[in-house]
Each structure stands twice: as C-alpha cells, then as structure tokens.
A = this chain, B = another copy of it.
C-alpha cells in the first residue's frame, strides 16, 4: 500500500488538518508521515485555542532530516493548512526537490479560507500561486479558486473561466473544486422564486467540479499548445451544520480513491479515475456528516441556537461546536466502503 507525506496542522482535540487526514488514510492501509505545521489544543473555530506554529526554521530542519534519512520516498504528497508564507515557501522548496527526485503524485489543497474569509496570512496567496506548477491535483473550495484566479464565481461561465486559468495559465492537470454554491441554478435551487410563508424550503445544493486537462504540446515552435479539458459536475444537498475539517478529509480520501480506482495503462490519473474517486469521496463524506449531525442532534437541545445566543459565558457555543467534531472513528465502514448516492455529469 502507498506511503504518503502529509504536511498540515495538528490539534490535540478534534479533527482538522493532519488529524482529519491521517486516520482515514491509515484505515485504508496507507502509511502516513505527518509533518505538523502548527501544534494547537483545538481548531481556531472555537476561538479559544492555544499552541504554537512550527517555526520556519524547525520545519526546514525536520524536512531536511527526513530527506537525509532517506525518508522522502513517498509515492504521494499532500499539503494543507500552513499559516504563513515563510513556512509555505519551505514546503514548496522541498516538494520541488521531491518531485525532481521521484514521480510522487502531489495533491495541493490551497487552504486559505472559506465563505469569503481568509484564515491564513494574506502573503500565502502568491506562494500558493507559485506552487500550482508543482501540483498534480488541487482541491480548492470556491473562495480559494477566486483567490488563485481572480475570477469571481457566480455562474457556470465563471467557473469555466477560472478552470481555464488554472489549467492553462498555471498548468495544473487536475482541479477538483471541493464545493461551490452555484447561484441561478433553476432546475435545482429555484433561485428566482421568492420563498413564501409556508413554502417547503428546498435544500441548498452544493456542487463539486471535477476537471482534467491534457496539454498537447507541439514544442517545435514552443508556441503551439492545445489543451483538451474535460469537466464534470457532482451535485448533492448541503448537510446543514458548522463542521470543520471536511475539506481536509476530502483531499485525503480523494487521493486514496484515485489510487484504488482504475488508472489508465500509463498509471496517469485521467478524468474517469478522478470522477469515480470524487463520487466515492463525496459518498464517504456525506455519511460522516450525517453521522455527525445525527449525533449532535441526539445530544443538543432543539433550542441550542437560542441558548448560545443568550449565553454570555461562551460555554454553550463551545459545547455546540464540540459535539459537531466529525464522527470519523465512528464512520469506519462508510470510509472503507463508500456508498455512491450522487453521480457526476458533464459540466455544460
């Protein structure tokens, strides 16, 4: 089974970063080398958290020792939350070296923010742009696509433009936009009709976009490039609740499912592999989120949101967050044998 280098955050309590990625991969038989970029008590979503960032010097030292000890022979690399540009540049330099020395497949999750809010230093954005050339697969969410491409995502046309930038300007072979909320999707969301009192509220629909590009270079003039991009869309209802670490599990499982899905004869990931892997990944994650939501509902009183609103002490807010930590170890069956409930279709 594969060996992977995963560079992400560590929290003592709860499941984000390496704590979210490591267990599912291990469960699927992968050896996971976990380099931590921060060491925190719990994730920042609790607001009350303590710990330290691993300094750029320490990160450099540890990666350097791993290299010296011959411990950089992983077939896969996964990077996630790295809070500052100096540390991220060190990660970039080592991945460049690994990619030169081997044929490791690199999934870059450009963890920068969500819902229009940045939760890393803003000077990481140009470093991530620079790292795109190293990546085989990237898994930004909609907001991160906007940060990387400068294209605001409102319509399907916007997504196509952004994918064009990622594939053709930055040269990323495979892009999976982990989740984006598309407006004006009348066949699902009914976006144009005003909700009336008593109307059944349709669930919010999330979309995952899967896109692969094969660049055909005819380098005799070093100018004539045609790219063949295939793009698909997977849509499913949003599971309500403020969950953390979902993107981190998404990226880890996507790699695992790419590995286990059929590959073409050259061992190269292609659109069908990526699509199948995404369908499985979304299936597992929906199950984890359902298990988590049901667990939270079994514990929290129905009026928890009112309680939180009137609680000056913050303890009920933290409690609500705690019981929404992902039910990862309790969802082993759903991770090992994903049920595919939603199929991707051509993105037009």
Seen from chain A, the residues whose Cβ lies within 8 Å of a Cβ on chain B are 1, 10, 12-13, 19, 22-23, 26-27, 29-36, 39-42, 46, 48-52, 54, 58, 61-66, 68-71, 315, 318-319, 322, 328-330, 332
Contacts and interface: CB of A to CB of B under 8 A. Distances in A.
Most buried by B among A31, A40, A63, A322: A31
Contact of A65 (B23, B50, B62): B50
Contacts of A70: 315, 318-319, 322
A65 B41 contact: yes
Name which of A13, A29, A61, A70 has the most chain B CB atoms within 10 A of its CB: A13
Given A12-B36, A33-B12, A61 B51 contact: yes
A62 to B, nearest CB: 4
B65 A29 contact: no
Nearest to A15: B31
- Count this chain's copies in the assembly: 2
A46 B70 CA distance: 12
B62 A50 contact: yes
Given A40-B62, A51-B58, A329-B30, A13 B71 contact: yes
Contacts of A12: 33-36, 62, 66
Chain B CB within 10 Å — which of A34, A46, A52, A315 has the most?
A52
A58 B52 contact: yes
Contacts of A35: 12
A66 B41 contact: yes
16 contacts: A10-B34, A13-B66, A22-B23, A27-B27, A29-B332, A30-B329, A39-B58, A41-B61, A42-B71, A48-B65, A49-B65, A50-B64, A51-B62, A69-B318, A70-B318, A70-B322
B13 A42 contact: no
Contacts of A40: 62
A81 to B, nearest CB: 16
Given A26-B329, A51-B58, 17 more contacts: A12-B34, A27-B27, A29-B329, A29-B330, A29-B332, A32-B329, A41-B61, A41-B63, A41-B65, A42-B66, A42-B69, A42-B71, A46-B69, A48-B65, A48-B68, A49-B65, A71-B322
Nearest to A27: B27
A330 B48 contact: no
A172 B313 CA distance: 39
A39 B42 contact: no
A46 B62 CA distance: 13
A1 B331 CA distance: 12
Contacts of A65: 41-42, 48-50
B23 A26 contact: yes
